[in-house]
Amino acid sequence: MPDAHPATEHQTCGESHYSKSVDPTTWWEAHFDRAAGEVVDFLAGDGIALEGKRVADIGCGDGIIDLGVTLKAKPATLVGFDVQATDVPALEARAKAAGIDSLPEELYFATSGDTRLPAEDSSFDIAISWSAFEHIADPVAVLREVRRVLTPHGLLFIQVWPFYATAHGTHLVDWFPKGFAQYLHNDDEITRIVRASGNQDMASEMLEIYRTLNKITADQLHAAVREAGFKIVKVALTAESVHIPDEASHVPLSEVAISGIKLLAIPDRRLIDDEARAT
């Protein structure tokens, strides 16, 4: 039997899973406070301050994290890039509702191409990305673009959660709160269950998200980062205790149980030089 009943918010061992159906306050707090705070703290843990830096956010979505990072960390500029134009008036309205009179003048948004960032070479000191690289169709091409727009001493922070192979990797927690729908149901069943309940606009949006997930694993992300000429210098993995259904018993534990990652990468001169020699 499908476990399709409406869900709002789920806590999974240290990682708050917020679905699209959560109330606006919870959504705001999860992004403006928690996600933005985690970006700033992860970097600050290595003595990296964003203050005065030129920061790019790859796959910025609604821009709430960018607003949080800008107000908390005071970069010289922060540009949120996304293939879908960020709804700035909506962000302004959300900010006002949270008591923020206007968006900071250091904060900009720009619409990017699938593999192209509209920015000059070496125009950013730090790139950040939150919950985007599991949605990006060609991660290596986008990471190469990130390397192009970063200075040679630039830094790259990436967070991904949840990885596809893990309990809520389908991003369909509203319909499958117990998780692992990708192993328990085929695509037609998933579509039918999602269509059968809840707001239909949200169902369409989430099915589109589900169908376009790139299914990247932590190891594949590592390989993509290296292929684009970066090396990872710090990593934090999220791994919780999970009960694995029979249908997922064949999946490597490193894939089924590592639900998320935060990483810090820098351009790898050695890989970049090898690449230059080969061309």
Ligand X SMILES: C[S@@+](CC[C@H](N)C(=O)[O-])C[C@H]1O[C@@H](n2cnc3c(N)ncnc32)[C@H](O)[C@@H]1O
Rounded Cα gap, residues 248 and 226, in angstroms? 29
Tokens of 236: 């934090």
Q: At closest approach, how far in Å is the CB of 132 from ligand X?
A: 4
Q: Write the DSSP assignment of 196-207 as a string of letters.
A: TSS-HHHHHHHH
Kindly state whether residue 111 participates in binding ligand X, applying the rule CB under 6 A: no
State how far the alpha carbon of 4 is from the alpha carbons of 25, 174, 181, 243, in Å: 24, 8, 10, 19
Please give the order of strands across the beta sheet that includes 150-160.
107-111, 77-82, 54-58, 124-130, 150-160, 258-267, 230-239
Using CB under 6 A, pick the residue from 4, 65, 194, 248 that binds ligand X: 65
Find the part of the chain contacting ligand X (CB under 6 A) among 17-25, 36-44, 55-63, 237-245. 55-63
Kindly state whether residue 58 participates in binding ligand X, applying the rule CB under 6 A: yes
DSSP tag of 247:
G
Q: Measured from the CB atom, is 79 or 248 closer to ligand X?
A: 79
Kindly state whether residue 142 participates in binding ligand X, applying the rule CB under 6 A: yes
Using CB under 6 A, pick the residue from 10, 12, 19, 31 that binds ligand X: 31
Using CB under 6 A, pick the residue from 60, 95, 156, 265 that binds ligand X: 60
Which residue's CB atom is positioned nearest to ligand X?
61
Q: Measured from the CB atom, is 81 or 248 closer to ligand X?
A: 81
Rounded Cα gap, residues 125 and 40, in angstroms? 14
Q: Measured from the CB atom, is 60 or 149 closer to ligand X?
A: 60
Find the part of the chain contacting ligand X (CB under 6 A) among 9-17, 129-137, 195-203, 234-242. 129-137
* Residues paired with residue 262 on neighbouring β-strands, in sequence order: 159, 236
